[in-house]
Amino acid sequence: MKYQIEISSVAEAEADKAFQWLCQVTSIETARHWYQKLLKTIESLSEMPKRCPLARENDYFSQEIRQLLYGRGRNSYRVIFTIVEGKELSIVRVLHIRHAAQQTIGKDRDKSE
């Protein structure tokens, strides 16, 4: 089964911000390469997205939240997504693209929200 990929505007903005930062600390070539590989990595979620583990945010939300790691070491990012299963169409909705060192989303909120 193939899943359709949807990237939220928030996730797009986070990826753009990471790209801009990389342009400042490396070369534009390196940043472009990083961005292209990020998109390819996200596209891989169209097949078997459940291969990815639950994200640490999963405990703070009512829907299942998963993550796909991209990059290594200090340049590691988490692609945070949820899966919406449908009869005719199933969707992987990318919610956030965050640096691995960033704070857990929802940690400070009440789980009942």
Average pLDDT for residues 21-36, to the nearest whole number?
A: 95
**Per mean pLDDT, which of 44-53, 54-63, 99-108 is the most reliable?**
44-53
With a CB cutoff of 8 Å and minimum separation 6, the contacts of 26 are none
First vs last C-alpha separation in the chain? 32
Residue of 30 and 73 predicted with greater confidence: 30
Is residue 75 very low, low, confident or very high in pLDDT (cuts 50, 70, 90)?
confident
Which pLDDT tens digit goes with each residue over 35-47? 999 999 999 999 9
> Could you give all domains of the chain from N- to C-terminal order, each with its CATH number?
4-99 (3.30.2310.20)
Tokens 């490396």 sit at which residue?
Answer: 26
**Which of 34, 41, 9 lies closest to 19, judged by CA?**
34
pLDDT at 109: 53
Average pLDDT for residues 68-88, to the nearest whole number?
A: 94
